[in-house]
Amino acid sequence: MANAPVESTNLVVFDKTFYEDLANIATEYYREFGWSRMFPVNTTSIPNAKKYKKPIFGDTEGFTSNDEYDGFPDQARTSLNTRKYKLHSILTSVIYSLDDRSKLRQFLLQDKGEKMRAFARQIDLTFMKGHYSKGYDSTGLGVGTKMSDGILDQAGTVIDLDGTDSALGATGGVYAALKKMVESIPFRYRGGRECVLGMTSNFYAQANSSTFTNTAGQTEWEQFFDKLVTKGIKGWKVSPEIIISDEAFIGVGDAGGTTDDRLFIAIMDNNIVERVFSRGIAPFPVIQGRGDTTIQDWAARCAGCVHDDEAVLYSEKITWP
């Protein structure tokens, strides 16, 4: 996601260098620390496009078997559908003055850099939960009007995690829930691949609690991790990079904690799920200088897209005793 060329008005060398440092902070956070980096990424062929169209290929037909090389069918045929997604922009401005430089001095980059990290976090949450007109609050809940769906909205749903319901109150319930999340993705998607698992923090805590510990002292999380992460083979294997995030997986109306934890699982493939950009994390090409104040406007245009909800799954609410 390269930055746009920069023009400047009424700026000094400090401003130009500072802009470059902020750009590096934003892209470093997003590429190295944001949990959504695990999802495949794609860019539209047209910069700043407001829509993204994804060709979806169906089953191919037109095959026969014969003793001789005759009786060929007319042709192999593959149905082709297209899914369309809306791409909305995420906007922010970073403003600093001569007074900021004087008071903050060497801490100026740290102060403004935190705003850029917060901007990158907003993009992370947008992929998972969709666009909200006023972004996301400190807990990860959307604020204002919802403008488009995210990955969780488009995911398939897994119910009755322990085989009866999703009230995991008895020994064996955690292991059953984790195993069901994996098995709910049809094997034709899992074969030769790893699944990526996500969960709320309280689920992880419960999975390692005394309630879900066997007589040998092994928790049900350790049992699952040993069998399907450490010793798992592709098709029956979960990636060791587990996404544990309350802000990502606690949705609108969810309180988290003991009332409504969630599990998430996906096959990370561009034909299944994508983070799509038509504009990467970048500033507008003009940095404005107004008196002793410098204004940098930043934007991204993007969306989280699920192309096949059989291989991207989100559990119903989980409750505990």
Q: pLDDT tens across 249-279, in order?
A: 988 788 888 889 999 999 999 999 999 999 9
- Is there a domain that residue 63 lies in? no
CB 87 within 8 A of CB 95: no
CB 284 within 8 A of CB 8: no
pLDDT computed for residue 57 by the predictor: 85
| Widest distance between CA atoms in the chain | 86
Indicate whether 95 and 39 sit together in one domain: yes
- Is there a domain that residue 68 lies in? no
Classified as helix, coil or strand, 231 is coil
Indicate whether 249 and 117 sit together in one domain: no
Indicate whether 184 and 260 sit together in one domain: yes
| CA-angle at 193, arms to 187 and 196, nearest 5° | 95
- Is there a domain that residue 185 lies in? yes
Task: Name residues of the chain where pLDDT drops below 50.
Answer: 1-13
- Is there a domain that residue 165 lies in? yes
Indicate whether 46 and 173 sit together in one domain: no
- Neighbour-count burial of 74, counting CB atoms closer than 10 A to its CB (0-12 exposed, 13-18 middle, 19+ buried): exposed
Indicate whether 39 and 163 sit together in one domain: no
pLDDT computed for residue 218 by the predictor: 95
CATH number of the domain that 192 lies in?
3.30.2320.10
Q: How far apart are CA 83 and CA 306, in angstroms?
A: 9
Indicate whether 38 and 120 sit together in one domain: yes
CATH number of the domain that 24 lies in?
3.30.2400.20
Number of domains in the chain: 2
Indicate whether 202 and 266 sit together in one domain: yes
- Domain assignment of residue 205, given as a range: 155-270+309-315
Indicate whether 32 and 101 sit together in one domain: yes
pLDDT computed for residue 3 by the predictor: 44
Classified as helix, coil or strand, 67 is coil
Indicate whether 224 and 287 sit together in one domain: no
CB 183 within 8 A of CB 266: no
- Is there a domain that residue 128 lies in? yes
Report in angstroms the alpha-carbon separations of 141 from 3, 117, 144, 252, 256. Answer: 29, 17, 10, 7, 12
CA-nearest of 106, 91, 84, 145 to 14 is 106
- Is there a domain that residue 76 lies in? no
pLDDT computed for residue 10 by the predictor: 44
Indicate whether 48 and 120 sit together in one domain: yes
CB 84 within 8 A of CB 52: yes
pLDDT computed for residue 105 by the predictor: 60
Indicate whether 14 and 117 sit together in one domain: yes
pTM of the model: 0.86
Indicate whether 16 and 143 sit together in one domain: yes
